[in-house]
Amino acid sequence: MKELIPSRKLNTHKGDYGRLGVIAGSRGMTGAPYLVCQSALRTGTGLVYNIIPETLEMIMSIKLTEAIVKPVVDDGRGHFTNESTVHILSEIKSMDSIALGPGIGMNGQKIKLVEDIILESDIPMVIDADGLNCVSPNMEVLSQKDTSIIITPHPGEMAGLLNIEIQEIENKRQYYSQYISEKYNLVTVLKGHKTIVVSPEGEVYINNRGNPGMATAGSGDVLTGIISSLVGQKIDPFEAAKLGVYIHGLAGDIAKDAVGEYGMIASDIVESLPYAIKNLG
């Protein structure tokens, strides 16, 4: 894994390490974009932009120090609307990667917004959480995008994407991960004990790091930030997914050593990321 970490030159600047657009958050769900942004920064992204409904601008400006807050019109509703799409597409034109979905909620407007972003942008993206829920009614949209997509479902979200029972997913984790990757030409990261990473061609990697303390709210948002950060740093999407999953698990193990499994929260994993990456090198 350490061979995948890009080296840094002495004569360098923040623009050399990627611009990540985090399209996430809604009223009551500001923790999700916060964790995505913080984990991306801790994974080395040079510039992180939190694209959020404008009603949340003050909240996110207080929560985030190093990330750049980019509010878009929301008609005072505290969540993305149909009118948000054109503004989001304008904001992401200069991005190197996108993290799409955590905490955005799900309704008809969000489904259309997610589909439009997938179809009308040409930027590699990681789709997670509510982004996946919004894709589930029309999975074919995933095969219509020319650039790379990484999906990071937990078993419940995977069951929703394939319209089958969660237990069926758990019984055949590798089979369904390969099926969805090959059918829709994307990278799949099926989270859980021994997270599975599958290439569009069906190549499989199984993670051997992590612990039960990582079963905590926001842990998946941290993973989304890590992987989208690595993609924005021009690492091949499949390699970025493998490396991101490994770093996430290793950071979780470092956090376990520091605070134990019972008291671990997602922020502990974020704070352990620099040590995990340092230990790789």
Task: State residue 252's pLDDT score.
Answer: 98
pLDDT at position 147: 87
Q: Which of 234, 264, 224, 252 is nearest to 50 (CA)?
A: 224
Compute the residue count for the chain: 281
Q: What pLDDT, on a 0 to 100 scale, did the predictor assign at position 169?
A: 98
Would you list the domain boundaries of the chain? 15-138+147-276
Under 8 Å CB-to-CB from 71, ≥6 apart: which residues? 52, 53, 54, 56, 57
Name the strand (E) or helix (H) holding 67: none
Q: How far apart are CA 273 and CA 134, in angstroms?
A: 30
Per-residue pLDDT tens digits for 34-55: 999 999 999 999 999 999 999 9
pLDDT at 63: 97
Fold exhibited by the domain 15-138+147-276: UDP-N-acetylmuramoyl-L-alanine:D-glutamate ligase (3.40.1190)
281 pLDDT more than 80: no
Per-residue confidence at 6, pLDDT binned at 50, 70, 90? confident
- Whether 102 and 33 have beta carbons less than 8 Å apart is answered as yes
More confident residue, 135 or 7: 135
Taking residues 143-157, report their average pLDDT: 94
pLDDT for 145 equals 83
The model's pTM is 0.98
Query: Looking at residue 183, what is its pLDDT?
Result: 97
Contact 217, 242 (CB under 8 A): no
